[in-house]
Amino acid sequence: MVVVMGSTATEEQIQAVVDLVEEAGGETFISRGKNRTIVGLLGDTERFMALPLPGMPGVDQVIRVGKPYKLVAAESRETPSVVHVGNTTIGRDTFCVIAGPCAIETEDQAMTAARAAKAAGAHVLRGDAYKHRTSPYAFQGLARRGLEILAQMRAETGLPVVTEVLQTSDVEVVASYADIIRIGARNMQNFQLLREVGRTHRPVMLKRGLSATIEEWLMAAEYIAQQGNEDIILCERGIRTFEPMTRNTLDVSAVPIVHNLSHLPIIIDPSHSSGKRELVAPLALAAAAVGADGVMIDIHPHPETALCDGPQALTSEELPPLVAEMSLVAQAVGRSMARTSRGLSAVGE
């Protein structure tokens, strides 16, 4: 349930609502917008319904959130949320381009890809040190050395970085290198990991599980938000269907559905959803057209020798024209490209 306070509500009136709810055994969270403050209630809704909340001074509306997730529900915020990363933002009316290698393989490969992403106009870099591979014999990532190279990518380009964390014991070290911590599709329902990243102060990118419904995905986001971290970016990366022509089936309808149900930004990964280089550009343009808050694209200096996901990686030359086209499509649907970073403060500040 959420209590919407009127634009003239005083701090004392907000506090009176909080006190009443807490006396009834509930917990509250407060979201302050420009024109109104929302007090979210967590606990026994039936009990809250019996409280005299609607008549209290300063209270504008009491809305029952009839959804299993509360903190990430659209009703709990006045406007869509915006995640700040470095000097750029993800969400609301901008379009963010994240690009970089799927896996950090060598310093040379990663730095070449990072420079190409920056030159193409990307706002955020991707690069993984820890890889979730279907086969235990496949390249598993450079681990700590990969994080060091990631730090170099960040330092040289001045762009913020996103990288995946696979297990709870690595959250602290990954958070010390990453501007955005990514939870991969296979870990979407690793609830302990979700809680752990929820306790960090880093934005979290949450990929949709291979066979997860949108509601299950939002429930997973709620685990992160419940720990006090609401800087969450959802990433649609395709779902399992009967269709073998693509690696996964990109669910573009997830974008407007999520925008309707939740205040969280949602981006699309056209690389992992299609698994095919020739499909990346059309799907990235579809992402911009459907109103996504951005895209995350794999690039590789030499896709034919890539240790991970080469068939879906764009070359350095293929990215710039695609960024220009995405910019045109984004503008056509009322978005501008996100701001480019002008430099970063140290991670950990």
What residue ranges bind ligand PEP (CB under 6 A)? Answer: 102, 128, 132, 184-186, 207, 237, 272
Of 102 and 288, the one with the shorter C-beta distance to ligand PEP is 102
Query: Is 196 one of the binding residues for Mn ion (CB under 5 A)?
Result: no
Looking at residue 161, what DSSP letter applies?
A: E
Nearer to ligand PEP, 67 or 186 (CB): 186
Cβ at position 268, least distance to ligand PEP in Å: 11
Structure tokens at 222: 């709620």
CB 59 within 8 A of CB 9: yes
Instruction: For residue 309, state whether it binds Mn ion (rule: CB under 5 A).
Output: yes
Is residue 269 near Mn ion by the rule CB under 5 A? Answer: no
239 contributes a contact to Mn ion by CB under 5 A: no
DSSP sequence for 93-158: TEEEEEEE-SB---HHHHHHHHHHHHHHT-SEEE-BSS---SSTTS----THHHHHHHHHHHHHH-
What distance in Å separates the CA atoms of residue 294 and residue 275, rounded to the nearest whole number?
A: 18
Q: Give least dist CB 308 to Mn ion, A.
A: 6
102 binds Mn ion per the rule CB under 5 A: yes
Confirm or reject binding of residue 129 to Mn ion (CB under 5 A). Answer: no
Q: Is the CB of 170 or the CB of 309 nearer to Mn ion?
A: 309
Question: How many other C-beta atoms are found inside a 10 Å radius of the C-beta of residue 51?
Answer: 19
Q: Does 314 bind Mn ion (CB under 5 A)?
A: no
Cα 207 from Cα 218, distance rounded (Å): 11
CB of 52 vs ligand PEP, minimal distance in Å: 47
Partner touching 70 among Mn ion, ligand PEP, none, CB below 5 to 8 Å by kind: none
154 binds, among ligand PEP, Mn ion, none (CB under 5 to 8 A by kind): none
Packing angle of the helix pair 277-289, 319-332 (nearest 10 deg): 20
End-to-end CA distance of the chain: 35
Give contact residues for Mn ion (rule: CB under 5 A): 102, 309
